[in-house]
Structure 1
Amino acid sequence: ITDADQQAFVDLLLPMVEAAFDRAGFYGYHPSIDTVLQQDDIRQTYLKLDGRLKMGSMHKDSLHLIWKGTLDYLYTYDFYQDFEHAAILDANRSQRLRSGITAGLGISGAYYYTSESIDSGNNIVVGLNPWVGKTTSDYTYRLGFGLVVNADGDKTTPHFYPEGLLQINMVEGILMPYFGFDGRLQVNNFRSMAEENRYITPGLKVDNTSHKIRGYVGFKGSFSRELSYDLRGSYSVIDKMPFFVNDTTQILGNTFDVVYDNLQLIRIHGELNYRQTERLSTLLSLTYDSYIMDGIEHPWHKPNLVVSLDEKFNLKNKIIVDAGLYYVGKRYAPGTQLDADIITLKGFVDLNLGLEYRYTKILSGFVRLNNILGTRYQVWNQYPGMGFNLLFGFTYAL
């Protein structure tokens, strides 16, 4: 607590530690291949150890400087002794000036060190994001830019991303049109690629993706205290987007490599949120994507339509029940040596149910019922999804 001439403030320092073990198997080889593989031939496991430190200060007086930040350490290790150490810093400082304008500065940094089986060099990303903005009862605006430098091995590349947002409270709380523009650098590190596709070729190195510019326009608001909405459309220009394809350098083709393309992406996204009570909420969302590719025929394994209906019940932050009904549209995969034509993966419907009991703040148990409808589908080419399955366990976080 400061002296009488200053307002009270709170310093935050919240550590967190998590661990996870994910077991996979490269079982997705072409059905025409006459072979029987042993478990050790297709085994893959991922060990993940994470630590997070949250820091910050908050003043009751909005004219004081406010800062907050997180420092993450992520360790990933697989069955083939590929590993990655990742240290990620994300910090923000802001201060409201007497004019009512708020000025801020975002600072980010990430360092990725991998085994030589993935990359002999290091991937370093450093970013600055200065901005100014203001919020009133009638409007909100924000202007700034992001300057990002990526040192990946022997190559250093600067990126500049302008940022702007204007939101107008046209009908208070009911209709708020907004539009803006931004951009970002997407880091495609070992952890993120393995979480997106567990069946990547061991030791896969993926280059980063630059979302050079995104322009968007939308409307959001509420029909009542319980029912709110958000509808927006966007247009993006993206360089070096990776798409997963079966690794044809192997006879079985049961792991995935990536191919890159520059593209334009038109996206329409809508959300309808119905919050019946503080404990019970329903979210309906829809995303439609249209890709304009530069080189490859289709955005491999990317659906053009995803619709989801999520229901969540939270009883005193102790018992949490969630149910999700999803539709994922058709996707395409390139033909392999055994499939000359382009492969079409049909759209599918999936229904999941989960229950979590939080015994304490650091210990909880969970049960998940997946694919309750028993739908037969493929998320990735040659990988039929599991039928109805049950997953249970516990989580422990310091």
Structure 2
Amino acid sequence: MRLKNIQYKLTLSILLVSAASFAQEKPEEKKTDKPTGALTEEIVVERPYKPVLADAAKIRRSPDLNSTKAMKSKLKYSVLDKKLELNSDIRQLQAQPLSLQIDRPLTHSYAKLGFGNFSTGLAELYLNTGPDEALQAGAFFKHFNQEGNLSKQQFSRQEIGIFGKSVLDKITLNGELGFDRNSTYFYGTMRDSIRPINANPEKQRYGTVSLRGELIKNYGENETSDYALKADGYLLSDKFNAKETSLALSGFYNKVWKQFNIGLNTSADFTQTKDSVSIGNHIFRANPYIKLQGPTYKLSIGVNLVQEFGDASRFNLFPAVTAEVPIVPEFATVFGGFTGNVNKSTIRELSNLNPYLNSNLAISNAVEKTYAYGGIKGNAGAGFGYKAMLFYKKLESMPLFRNDITRPERFNVIYDDAKVTGLEGEISVKISEQLSWLGRLNINNYNMDTQEEAWFQPDFRLFSNARFTINKKITIDGEIVVNDKTSALIYSGSQTPEIVKLKSYVDFSAGAEYLYKEKVGIFLRVNNIFGNKYERYLYYPKVGLNVIGGLNYSF
């Protein structure tokens, strides 16, 4: 039966193939009487093919759009049979052996000795217990003397003292006991002449014994309050039996509360001056304040209460307002303030400015009725700082020096009200440990009440200092002072006052130090290089170019 079916299928396949072959044969060309080249085939045009999908092949369901089943593709990994090498066996560090050469020990004391022209002598000695900052003690001694070409143009100064410092757990204690002696002669010389005003110039000498003590609370990271106490006292006398004693007690307390600082500065200053008469000049001060510091500003508001008592009594109340606002953080800050104060006049302060004072000086305190200022300060990098400030002062009883009528080589102290406007500027540059420079500028305009001029007060003053370390052995430095011309008032033979001008001057000095050996050095200092015999005060010319050289030893 199976064989018969195969025969039927074979016969049917042969018939189908034969039919397909016959269908592909071209139809016979129809003969025609038309000439050669005419149409010989019949073209049948049929409609284009249009596929139609049978109903049996259609998917009769809509897709499920809510299906969240994610397709997971089959991934194949080919893991390489390689071993990862880890260098986990770290070699143990070996200690660096110490050098057999012993480093130079740090020194904390030194001695200095020098000589120069104009019979100049210099000696210094500084002793300190060591590098322990928590416990310091020491002593110092300084001597300087010089003699010019004019009669009795002699200067001498000595300083000696002991000091100590102790840093405890919560407070730090500082103390110093010292003696200062400054002597000269009234060598005043007639102008344009070497002839002294007084044929036998008298000697003047100021000696001061001073004592200072201080207690300061140490800084604590979580502390909210600070305080300090300080005591200063001195006893001064001169060659003509003038004496002055002073004791000042001061302190401050500050409390931090949120962004506020609330505090009080206070002091009591008792000064007694005795010459032909005794003058009591005492001052009590109190400065309560409140400070507010934010991320972009600082503001302080307070008052200055100043009570003068003694031979004269006066109460003063001044505002004390200061503010700072950075315009470029860490680079430029605008600041300003408005305040007032009382500046005490003492023989000690006046003689430090001018040692050629007369006896029986008038003593009166200077009152800053108004002090308004404003400016800008900041840094331009780690080694560059600057400050520029404009100010206005209204002063009552501003002290001035004026030559005495009968003994013009001596100076009296007079007082006058004044209005002062000015500009102060400062620039400091520290390029590295090897090079630093500092410059200060002061420009003042004085408007006096009764006096014609602000005697011996320059309108312009410039100070500049630079220091440069060439290498480990050589260091050089230079200093320049420029002082504008000043005015003085003198009396001629007819007792008519006359204003004279003191020329402006430039004082340039330079020095060098050379480390000869490990602890021994050589120094050289040249002062007044331009040799200007200028007058800071009338009738008192300075010495010309002077040179000092010597040795220093550190230990």
TM-score range, shorter chain: 0.7 to 0.9
How far apart, in 1, do the equivalents of 2:278 and 2:511 lie? 41
Assess if the C-alpha contact under 8 Å between 1:68 and 1:93 holds in 2.
yes
The superposition leaves residues 377-396 of structure 1 with CA deviations (integer Å, 9 ceiling, x where unpaired) of 11001111122346799xxx
Assess if the C-alpha contact under 8 Å between 2:189 and 2:197 holds in 1.
no
Structure 1 stretches of at least 4 aligned residues deviating more than 6 Å after TM superposition: 32-36
How far apart, in 1, do the equivalents of 2:525 and 2:236 lie? 24
Q: 1:133 aligns with which of 265, 281, 291?
A: 291
Mapped pair 1:306 → 2:465: no
Q: 1:196 aligns with which of 341, 353, 358?
A: 353
The superposition leaves residues 198-225 of structure 1 with CA deviations (integer Å, 9 ceiling, x where unpaired) of 0010232321100111111101112222
Question: Alpha carbons of 1:33 and 1:278: their partners in 2 closer, same or farther (altered >3 Å)?
Answer: closer
Question: Alpha carbons of 1:367 and 1:208: their partners in 2 closer, same or farther (altered >3 Å)?
Answer: farther
Question: Alpha carbons of 1:222 and 1:28: their partners in 2 closer, same or farther (altered >3 Å)?
Answer: same
How far apart, in 2, do the equivalents of 1:301 and 1:392 lie? 33
SS of residue in 1 equivalent to 2:447: strand
Q: Percent identity?
A: 24
Range with bigger deviation, 132-141 or 293-302: 132-141
RMSD: 2.9
Structure 2 residue ranges without an equivalent (≥5): 1-167, 514-522, 551-555
How far apart, in 2, do the equivalents of 1:300 and 1:322 lie? 33
Question: Alpha carbons of 1:92 and 1:221: their partners in 2 closer, same or farther (altered >3 Å)?
Answer: same
How far apart, in 2, do the equivalents of 1:67 and 1:313 lie? 40
Aligned partner letter, 2:187: Y
Q: Which residue of 1 aligns with 2:430?
A: 275
TM-score (norm 1): 0.85
Question: Alpha carbons of 1:44 and 1:88: their partners in 2 closer, same or farther (altered >3 Å)?
Answer: same
The superposition leaves residues 10-38 of structure 1 with CA deviations (integer Å, 9 ceiling, x where unpaired) of 21211111222111111114357977856
How far apart, in 2, do the equivalents of 1:307 and 1:331 lie? 14
TM-score (norm 2): 0.62
In the TM superposition, what is the alpha-carbon distance from 1:70 to its structure 2 partner?
1.9
Q: 2:306 aligns with which of 127, 138, 148?
A: 148
Assess if the C-alpha contact under 8 Å between 1:206 and 1:242 holds in 2.
no
In the TM superposition, what is the alpha-carbon distance from 1:322 to its structure 2 partner?
5.8
Question: Alpha carbons of 1:105 and 1:321: their partners in 2 closer, same or farther (altered >3 Å)?
Answer: farther
Q: Which residue of 2 aligns with 1:329?
A: 484
Aligned partner letter, 2:466: E
Higher relative contact order (CA 8 A, sep 6+): 1
Assess if the C-alpha contact under 8 Å between 1:114 and 1:120 holds in 2.
yes
Q: Which residue of 1 aligns with 2:228?
A: 68
Matches for 1:236-275 after TM superposition, within 5 Å: 236-248=393-405, 250=406, 252-275=407-430
Aligned partner letter, 1:104: G
Question: Alpha carbons of 1:313 and 1:107: their partners in 2 closer, same or farther (altered >3 Å)?
Answer: farther
How far apart, in 2, do the equivalents of 1:207 and 1:298 lie? 20
In the TM superposition, what is the alpha-carbon distance from 1:116 to its structure 2 partner?
3.7
Question: Alpha carbons of 1:308 and 1:94: their partners in 2 closer, same or farther (altered >3 Å)?
Answer: same
Q: Which residue of 2 aligns with 1:47?
A: 207
Mapped pair 1:121 → 2:279: yes
In the TM superposition, what is the alpha-carbon distance from 1:353 to its structure 2 partner?
4.7
Q: Which residue of 1 aligns with 2:444?
A: 289
Question: Alpha carbons of 1:34 and 1:27: their partners in 2 closer, same or farther (altered >3 Å)?
Answer: closer
How far apart, in 2, do the equivalents of 1:182 and 1:35 lie? 46
Mapped pair 1:388 → 2:518: no
How far apart, in 2, do the equivalents of 1:321 and 1:160 lie? 49
How far apart, in 1, do the equivalents of 2:359 and 2:512 lie? 33
Aligned length: 371
Mapped pair 1:109 → 2:268: yes
Question: Alpha carbons of 1:33 and 1:59: their partners in 2 closer, same or farther (altered >3 Å)?
Answer: closer
Q: Which residue of 2 aligns with 1:362?
A: none
Mapped pair 1:160 → 2:291: no
Assess if the C-alpha contact under 8 Å between 2:187 and 2:196 holds in 1.
no
In the TM superposition, what is the alpha-carbon distance from 1:284 to its structure 2 partner?
1.1
Q: 2:535 aligns with which of 378, 385, 391?
A: 378
Q: 2:368 aligns with which of 184, 204, 211?
A: 211
SS of residue in 1 equivalent to 2:544: coil
How far apart, in 2, do the equivalents of 1:14 and 1:81 lie? 32
